[in-house]
């Protein structure tokens, strides 16, 4: 965001015409990128045990609330060999199909579906897909606050030989 001082400098430059007009057709080229595919590829490139995940053929419930993650998360899980059970993974032209915040009350249907499907896990998103709530086949929806600690425990479990007896250090 611009500060008042930065905005004043920009306004002055525009008023002085320090930014001459250029025809957009002469400024470069256009390249069409598939952002979802690029993101999936970047995630797949950092997962060290894809073959092991694919062998398990996990069933995963995905509740994307019709939001930004409705395509990427199911596609990523499919590429990991998972059976995806979609819930609200389609575009919703009339608003969100459930309350958008991934709270326990908004995720009752999700939690019940994770249990019913006996899924290995469930992943529920908020509309812009920057928050993740995990579902458990025994407990249904877990509190959002458990997502990071569960991820850390999973990482440490998978890398117990790498980190045993070593001090952890942030980059």
Condensed to tens digits (0 to 9), the pLDDT of residues 12-46 reads 988 988 877 788 888 888 889 999 999 999 999 99
User: How far apart are alpha carbons 38 and 35 in whole angstroms?
Assistant: 5
> Which residues are CB-neighbours of 107 under 8 A, at least 6 positions away?
63, 98, 124, 133, 135, 141
Helices (H), 80-166: 108-117, 147-158, 160-163
Helix (H, G, I), strand (E, B) or coil at 170: coil
As a whole number, the mean pLDDT across the chain is 89
Confidence of residue 120 (pLDDT cuts 50, 70, 90): very high
């Amino acid at each position: 965001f611009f500060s008042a001082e930065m905005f004043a400098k920009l306004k002055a430059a525009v008023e002085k015409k320090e930014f001459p007009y250029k025809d957009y057709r002469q400024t470069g080229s256009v390249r069409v990128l598939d952002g979802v595919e690029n993101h999936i590829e970047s995630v797949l490139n950092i997962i060290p045990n894809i073959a092991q995940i694919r062998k398990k053929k996990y069933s995963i419930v995905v509740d994307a609330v019709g939001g930004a993650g409705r395509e990427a998360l199911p596609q990523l899980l499919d590429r990991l060999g998972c059976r995806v059970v979609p819930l609200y993974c389609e575009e919703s032209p009339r608003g969100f199909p459930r309350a958008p915040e991934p709270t326990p009350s908004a995720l009752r249907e999700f939690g019940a579906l994770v249990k019913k499907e006996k899924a290995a896990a469930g992943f529920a998103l908020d509309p812009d897909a920057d928050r993740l709530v995990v579902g458990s086949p025994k407990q249904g929806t877990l509190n959002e606050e458990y997502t990071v600690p569960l991820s850390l425990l999973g990482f440490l479990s998978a890398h117990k030989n790498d980190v045993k007896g070593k001090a952890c250090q942030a980059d």
